[in-house]
Amino acid sequence: MNKPLKQHLIDPEICIRCHACVEACPKDAITFNDDNVVVDAAICDGQMACIGPCPTGAIDNWRVVATPYSLEEQLEWMELPEQQEIAAGEGEADSEALDDAIATLLAEAHKGAGGVARAPASAAKPTVNLHGLENPLKVRVQGNFRLTAAASDNDVRHIILDLGPGHFPILEGQTIGIIPPGEDAQGRAHLPRLYSVSSPRDGERPSTNNLSLTVKRVQGGVCSNYVCDLGRGDEVLVTGPYGSTFLLPDDPEARLVMICTGTGSAPFRAFTMRRQRVMPTVNGRMKLFFGARSPDSLPYFGPLGKVPQEFLEKHFAFSRVDGKDKTYVQDRLRQDGEALAMMLTDARTHIYLCGLKAMEAGVEEAFNDIARASGLNWAEIRARLREEGRYHVETY
Amino acid sequence: MSDTINVSYDTQIPNNVGLSSDRRVLKALEKWHPGYLDWWKGQGPDGFQESLVYLRTAVSVDPKGWAKFDYVRMPEYRWGILLAPQVEGRIIPCGEHYGEPAWQEVPGEYRSMLRRLVVIQGDTEPASVEQQRFLGKTAPSLYDMRNLFQVNVEEARHLWAMVYILQKYFGRDGREESAELLQRRSGSDEKPRMLGAFNEETPDWLSFFMFTYFTDRDGKMQLESLAQSGFDPLSRTCRFMLTEEAHHMFVGETGVGRTIQKTCERMREAGIDDPTDIGRVRDLGVIDLPTIQKKLNLHYTLSLDLFGSEVSTNAANAFNAGIKGRYRENKIDDDHRLQDATYPVSEFTDGKIVVKEVPALTAINMRLRDDYSRDALGGVKRWNAIIRKHGFDFELTLPHEGFHRQIGTYTGAPITPEGEVITPEEWAARRDEWLPSKEDGDFIASLMKPCWEAGKYAGWIAPPRVGIDNKPGDFEYVQLHMA
């Protein structure tokens, strides 16, 4: 057993030994001597109750290690050790979710970014793993609305979950888990399925303690059928929140390019609503590239129409409209190539991809072409964007 | 079930103590509120009341909710009443009532003692806001300005915390004391604040950093010992205040550290090897290390005075009554009554320093002060690490407990920072070697030029390693909107 572990550490150069974390930790995993405050890897379960109270940010440090640093070692440190090379890779990413199964799923979803994902520098600090498999939060369904035309065979639902008195802080771009009832073929309880939240942090309406999901019914899907059939008042077990990189920059100067298909639109609905609430007059800084088979199978087609084009520049791509050529998001990207090329070299630009894995290749190619036409190298640009927390992929 | 974690906004005063169903206290606080706002507008940060400041506000007292950040105008800050959650079955942690259930109401026999403790603690909170009210104008960056204002609004919230205790549990006396807290003024001749260090000026930013490091740390220790009170509402109030106090320690420790960092960097660049070559170092526009040592000497010794006399019957009574514990009382492994224990205390008699064992009960102040000194030493070690990292042979030290004291056994004793007893004449002649002179003060003052462009820092101080709330380096922590 030599599985690498993501160890929670405190930066001794920044820590001021105020012991706020010691008080905050419900597991008593944090101890100290006169010099340093340290986390016991054997006790810490990564629920991060200590992160908010830390006045310095020293608490928010992680190293992937084969063997955890002992308390004795940590108590002697004058500075944090560098991250060692670990064969398993994946290491340096921000802590997404410490629950192994969830972490694996998220890592898989973010793979398309081509490297370690990072959060935008100005993003708000996410809370993750507040509710795990052992303590899911019980919430109630407040509404279940079909987003696609009744005639469409594409059944996509807008589900609103009322969090009641529950404490479940969520940021735009984060994901939650839903545990379907019952057992799998082997008689084990189902693992949670992950869904992107489609509402902003302060709820469907400002200051409501609820959140929404965008869920597509999948033939034979255990969880999607369960969720799509939920009725008002039904109880649901949720876990999370998860995800600490696919987040919205908290900066009116940021330019957003959002590319999605189908229910991949969920986080972008949240992004758009957040910016409408906090910076409603900031125009010309968001572009949405949205692919679907037809207008009546495109989630939120109606509401999107009401968002002014100056605020959100919309580019729809439909692949199955009678009498018209098939169009995909990559085609729309190419059509807007000149504007996009300018944005690629702008340090304020953030690019987001969310939807089916199948869209990745086409989008990559489009960006390659767009970059090349302007004498730029997409691979280099992508690497820099990713390094700087400005390129985010979540595909499934 | 009443919700005691999340903050309720159903009255004008955010709180987690069910104020809306406590009409009497709510009314009393609402009556006090306008006077408080007048005090804030008159005595709070001068010239920045309209600025939007990126502040944290508690939305609940559990770890997940008490540090939410947003832009706010300071007069609109949600000052409120926040108590840490009640611990089921909590006992009186020390003294003759040790082991009995903690009091939820004021025990009659200790009423006046308790009131006095609360008033003294309460008096320090607005005092520091008053001391710091002009600092914003010379802020070395928007980041530092924001930190100053965060400290200010939280000190003011601590005033609220103490006023709540007074109004809720001390009836008419409490109302009168609450009003008095808004009337005394730091440095005033007629109505000064109650403790010496809180009537001193905070003339420059290095003083501010030293103050938050050394003097606010005294505040932290006092809060720590009140958090161990057998009077449960006071304990819960102080426990939550401690989470905020941590930020103040942070501002002090990193502020001094960044000052040292910049001095070392500039000396290296200029090829200066001798940190005591004061003239050359000052020519670089940074504060030389010997002057930083002098500032440290001053603020550390003023803060030691705040602990009161080494041997004190007041402190013994408070401990014995169970209304003020020792630092981390609940983690100490002894009888918590101190019936027979002794504690070593230094005494200055006949020109000599002698150590005596005295009953531990009477040495409560001394013990807390020792805990304080140990705590204060931590930051000094970090500062020295910065100096060492730059390759300089210079070490900052905490001066001897007998140096420059105004309270306790060492009052006025001619003792050097190394602890050597000398003649009063020699001490007076050498004073400026150890404590900031007028010339030192003038030099520091000459560096205090505002630097208000987002992401820029005045020449004497290094930028922080990490932004507040993980913000990037050029984040606009204060949107000035100057009138």
**Predicted local distance difference test score (pLDDT) of residue A298:** 86
| Residues of B whose CB is below 8 A from A24 | 63, 243
Give how many domains chain A has, as a whole number: 3
A352 and A309 within one domain: yes
| Structure-token pair, residue B443 | 């030099």
Cβ(B152)–Cβ(B53) below 8 Å: no
**Predicted local distance difference test score (pLDDT) of residue A91:** 37
List the CATH number of the domain containing A48: 3.30.70.20
Active-site residue, selected from the candidate residues A13, A70, A388, A396? A396
A94 pLDDT tier (thresholds 50, 70, 90): very low
Residue ranges with strand state E in B216-351? 342-349
Measure CB to CB from residue A20 to each of B243, B374, B471 and give the nearest one: B243
Give the angle A57-A63-A64 at the CA atoms, nearest 5°: 150
The reply to whether A75 touches chain B by the CB within 8 Å rule is no
A388 and A265 within one domain: yes
A266 and A228 within one domain: no
Measure CB to CB from residue A53 to each of B243, B253, B379 and give the nearest one: B243
A93 pLDDT tier (thresholds 50, 70, 90): very low
* % chain B with pLDDT above 90: 83
With respect to residue A357, please indicate whether it lies within any of the assigned structural domains: yes
- Cα–Cα distance between A35 and B382 in angstroms, integer? 9
| Residues of A whose CB is below 8 A from B224 | none
- Cα–Cα distance between B127 and B39 in angstroms, integer? 11
In angstroms, what separates the C-alpha of A168 from chain B's closest C-alpha?
Answer: 9
Q: How far apart are the first and last CA of chain B?
A: 47
List the CATH number of the domain containing A345: 3.40.50.80
| Structure-token pair, residue A44 | 């810490």
Average the pLDDT over B465-470 and give the result. 84
List the alpha helices (DSSP H) in A60-142. 71-76, 100-110
Nearest CA in chain A to B65: A52
Do B472 and A121 count as a contact with CB atoms less than 8 A apart? yes
Render pLDDT for B94-115 as a digit per residue (tens, 0 to 9): 999 999 999 999 999 999 999 9
Residue B409: pLDDT above 50? Answer: yes
Domain end point (choices A242, A266, A292): A242
Residue A24: pLDDT above 90? Answer: no
Give the angle B90-B91-B93 at the CA atoms, nearest 5°: 120
A192 and A219 within one domain: yes
Render pLDDT for B320-352 as a digit per residue (tens, 0 to 9): 999 999 999 988 999 999 999 999 999 999 999
In angstroms, what separates the C-alpha of A24 from chain B's closest C-alpha?
Answer: 6
Residue A2: pLDDT above 60? Answer: no
Give the angle B222-B302-B352 at the CA atoms, nearest 5°: 105
Backbone angles phi, psi at A371, to 5 degrees: -65, -50
In angstroms, what separates the C-alpha of A79 from chain B's closest C-alpha?
Answer: 10
Rg (CA), chain A: 22
Rounded to 10 deg, the angle between the B171-181 and B23-43 helix axes is 10
- Cα–Cα distance between A122 and A351 in angstroms, integer? 15
Render pLDDT for B28-47 as a digit per residue (tens, 0 to 9): 999 999 999 999 999 999 99
Highest mean pLDDT among A100-104, A139-143, A153-157, A181-185: A139-143
List the CATH number of the domain containing A169: 2.40.30.10
In angstroms, what separates the C-alpha of B413 from chain A's closest C-alpha?
Answer: 30
Residue ranges with strand state E in chain A? 5-9, 30-32, 37-39, 61-65, 137-146, 156-162, 175-178, 193-196, 210-216, 235-242, 255-261, 286-292, 313-318, 349-355, 391-395
A238 and A174 within one domain: yes
- Cα–Cα distance between B83 and B60 in angstroms, integer? 10
Q: Please name the residues in contact with B462: beta carbons below 8 A apart, sequence gap of 6 or more.
A: B258, B259, B261, B262, B265
Interface test with A, best of B470, B475, B479 (most A CBs within 10 A): B470
The reply to whether B64 touches chain A by the CB within 8 Å rule is yes
The reply to whether A125 touches chain B by the CB within 8 Å rule is yes
Cβ(B48)–Cβ(B153) below 8 Å: no
In angstroms, what separates the C-alpha of A273 from chain B's closest C-alpha?
Answer: 18
A355 and A259 within one domain: yes
All domains of chain B in start order, with CATH? 19-479 (1.10.620.20)
| Residues of B whose CB is below 8 A from A165 | 3
- Cα–Cα distance between B197 and B210 in angstroms, integer? 12
**Predicted local distance difference test score (pLDDT) of residue A95:** 45
ipTM here: 0.74
Rounded to 10 deg, the angle between the B111-131 and B313-321 helix axes is 120
Whether A394 is catalytic is yes
The reply to whether B34 touches chain A by the CB within 8 Å rule is no
A267 and A193 within one domain: no
* Surface of A (42-71) touching B: CB under 8 A: 49-53, 55-58, 60
**Predicted local distance difference test score (pLDDT) of residue B367:** 96
B7 pLDDT tier (thresholds 50, 70, 90): low
**Predicted local distance difference test score (pLDDT) of residue B469:** 82
**Predicted local distance difference test score (pLDDT) of residue A300:** 87
A66 and A149 within one domain: no
Do A20 and B242 count as a contact with CB atoms less than 8 A apart? yes
**Predicted local distance difference test score (pLDDT) of residue A14:** 84
Do A56 and B377 count as a contact with CB atoms less than 8 A apart? no
A273 and A194 within one domain: no
The reply to whether A338 touches chain B by the CB within 8 Å rule is no
Average the pLDDT over each of A255-264, B52-61, B284-293 and give the range with the smallest value: B52-61
Do B253 and A16 count as a contact with CB atoms less than 8 A apart? yes
The reply to whether B236 touches chain A by the CB within 8 Å rule is no
Residue A289 three-state SS: strand
With respect to residue A153, please indicate whether it lies within any of the assigned structural domains: yes
Domain end point (choices A209, A242, A275): A242
Whether A196 is catalytic is yes
Active-site residue, selected from the candidate residues A195, A242, A300, A391? A195
Interface A–B counts its CB contacts (< 8 A) at 82
Give CA torsion, residues A180, A182, A184, A187, to 10 deg. Answer: 150
Average the pLDDT over each of A129-138, A190-199, B298-307 and give the range with the smallest value: A129-138
**Predicted local distance difference test score (pLDDT) of residue A96:** 47
| Structure-token pair, residue A394 | 């979540």
**Predicted local distance difference test score (pLDDT) of residue A61:** 85
- Cα–Cα distance between A112 and A195 in angstroms, integer? 18
Residue A88: pLDDT above 50? Answer: no
A142 and A19 within one domain: no
Whether A396 is catalytic is yes
**Predicted local distance difference test score (pLDDT) of residue A99:** 62
User: For residue A172, what are the CA distances in angstroms to A126, A199, A202, A268, A380?
Assistant: 9, 7, 10, 8, 28
| Structure-token pair, residue B154 | 């939280």
| Residues of B whose CB is below 8 A from A202 | none
In angstroms, what separates the C-alpha of B209 from chain A's closest C-alpha?
Answer: 14
With respect to residue A64, please indicate whether it lies within any of the assigned structural domains: yes
A278 and A236 within one domain: no
With respect to residue A160, please indicate whether it lies within any of the assigned structural domains: yes
With respect to residue A102, please indicate whether it lies within any of the assigned structural domains: no
Q: Which domain holds residue A174?
A: 137-242
Arithmetic mean of pLDDT over chain A? 87
The reply to whether A164 touches chain B by the CB within 8 Å rule is no
Rg (CA), chain B: 23
Domain end point (choices A35, A59, A92): A92
With respect to residue A281, please indicate whether it lies within any of the assigned structural domains: yes
Q: How far apart are the first and last CA of chain A?
A: 30
| Residues of A whose CB is below 8 A from B470 | 57, 60, 121, 125
Enclosing H/E stretch for B359: strand B352-359
Do A16 and B469 count as a contact with CB atoms less than 8 A apart? no
A339 and A234 within one domain: no
Average the pLDDT over each of A341-350, B124-133, B226-235, B471-480 and give the range with the smallest value: B471-480
With respect to residue A70, please indicate whether it lies within any of the assigned structural domains: yes
The reply to whether B331 touches chain A by the CB within 8 Å rule is no
With respect to residue A118, please indicate whether it lies within any of the assigned structural domains: no
Compute how many other C-beta atoms are within 10 angstroms of the C-beta atom of residue A339. Answer: 12
The reply to whether A35 touches chain B by the CB within 8 Å rule is yes
In angstroms, what separates the C-alpha of A382 from chain B's closest C-alpha?
Answer: 21
**Predicted local distance difference test score (pLDDT) of residue B6:** 66
Average the pLDDT over A173-178 and give the result. 93
Compute how many other C-beta atoms are within 10 angstroms of the C-beta atom of residue B279. Answer: 7
Whether A328 is catalytic is no
Cβ(B238)–Cβ(B105) below 8 Å: no
Residue B268: pLDDT above 50? Answer: yes
